[in-house]
Amino acid sequence: MNNFIGTYECKADAKGRVMIPVALKNQLTPILQKGFVLKRAVFQPCLELYPMDEWNALMQKVNKLNRFKKKNNDFIRRFTAGVKVVEVDTTGRLLIPKDLIGFADITKEIVLSSAINIIEVWDKTKYEQAIDDATVDFADLAEEVMGGDDEIELP
């Protein structure tokens, strides 16, 4: 499992090519040859870049869903809508397909943000708005998600 670190601002050219910052490229180097999957995020107006091994592990879980249940079939179809296999080229650029640029409303200024084992790809304005919106209730969210119970284990 990869644990990526950092948030990087960069630019997309008119064709949707993004030069991966060196610090992030160094983290990606061990997995560059296997390629990546780029998809629409479920909860946010951004894209998610999965290393191929991470994507395959996720697909193993999804593949266990019973496809004879309509909600499972609908989920699989929507979850995989717009999924693209992408590569980082020899010059360190990632090409974001036009349909995914449209989904995430990506303009020239973008943010690549680590999200543990994947990289989120955001339009810079939308990213800053999402961070600002989350700041208000982040303390409550952190307590709820990470706080746990204060149980003391006795020997």
Each as own residue / partner, the long-range contacts of residues 12-16 (CB below 8 Å, 24 or more positions apart, any chain) are 12/96, 12/101, 12/106, 12/107, 12/108, 12/110, 13/108, 15/95, 16/95, 16/96, 16/97, 16/98, 16/101, 16/106
pLDDT at 154: 56
pLDDT digits 0-9 by tens, 50-64 = 999 999 999 999 999
Domain ranges, ordered by start, for the chain? 7-145
Chain position carrying tokens 């973008």: 110
pLDDT at 140: 78
User: What's the pLDDT band for 139 if we cut at 50, 70, 90?
Assistant: confident
Taking domain 7-145, whether its CATH number is 3.10.20.30 is answered by: no
The CA distance from 94 to 9, in Å, is 14
pLDDT digits 0-9 by tens, 75-110 = 999 999 999 999 999 899 999 999 999 999 999 999
User: What's the pLDDT band for 143 if we cut at 50, 70, 90?
Assistant: confident
